[in-house]
Amino acid sequence: MKKFIFTFFIAAASMAVNAQTFGVHANGILASAKSEEKDQNTTLSTKLDSRFSWKAGVVGDIPIAENFSFMPQLNILSKGGKLSQSEAGFTSSMEMKFTYLELPLNLVFSHTSGLFIGAGPSLSYGIGGEAEVTVSGGGLSETGTVKIKFDGDDEANDDNAHLKALELGANVIAGYRLSNGLFFNVQYNQGLSNIDPSEGSSFKNKYFGFGIGYFFGAQ
């Protein structure tokens, strides 16, 4: 499965690079997530606060009809979020950082003014991460780090946190493209698949991003 997924990502990168128009882009993103834990009677839902993070990658532009094009990307980015709680005089905080390879597959409509808007599915694959936990109170403060393993193992007996590597999502993008190839964009990505391997639990990433890029060979 891993070999197939990485082969798919490499093929997508080749498609983007060999598109009629090829570009690069860099983005700042606000990454967050939502987790749920269910039992027979209740559902505990927790929304993680946003953390400022990053995304960078390559993008292709493949015309398919007048004003319409297929715009695949291959990105590396950091998802996750922040969480803090206070109880009995103690405060605990956690910052999650998940490194992903991401493949958005957007169908884009471009106006002659330079404005464009599009949407499509996205495929992400977790390659590493960590959660930094800080507990303070009573004049003391301690910080520790938990490694994130994207192996989907819900029965591992270790000190690591375990998540599913593959995440399916939906992506929306909009922006403005100049005649010299420079472009600006905003995007929103919502994870649709549950990456928590534990029974009765759910964890889904999301992020809002804004960035700049450049298409080579622009006409």
- According to DSSP, the residues that pair with 134 across neighbouring strands are 93, 143
**What phi-psi label fits residue 179: left (phi over 0), alpha (psi between -120 and 50 degrees) or beta?**
alpha
Mean pLDDT to the nearest integer, 108-129? 95
> Domain range for residue 50?
2-216
Residue indicated by tokens 């709680």: 85
Query: Is the per-residue pLDDT at 6 higher than 90?
Result: no
Give residue-wise pLDDT tens across range 72-95.
999 999 999 999 887 767 788 899
**Can you read off the two tokens belonging to residue 105?**
């597959």
Q: What confidence score (pLDDT) does residue 11 get?
A: 62
Query: With 80 as the cut, is the pLDDT of residue 217 above it?
Result: no
Q: What is the pLDDT of residue 3?
A: 63
CB 155, CB 148: distance < 8 Å: no
Whole-prediction pTM value? 0.88
Q: Is 15 exposed, middle or buried (0-12, 13-18, 19+ CB in 10 A)?
A: middle
CATH number at residue 69: 2.40.160.20
Q: Taking the CA of residue 166 as centre, how many other CA atoms within 13 Å lie in the half-sphere pointing to its CB?
A: 9
Question: Given pLDDT bands bounded at 50, 70 and 90, which one contains residue 182?
Answer: very high
The pLDDT value recorded for residue 98 is 97
Domains contained in the chain, number: 1
Mean pLDDT, to the nearest integer, of 111-124? 95
Q: Per residue in 11-34, pLDDT tens?
A: 665 665 555 678 999 999 999 999
pLDDT at 4 over 60: no
pLDDT at residue 44 above 90?
Answer: no
CA separation (Å) from 133 to 82, 91, 150, 205? 10, 11, 19, 19
**pLDDT given for residue 37 in this prediction:** 87
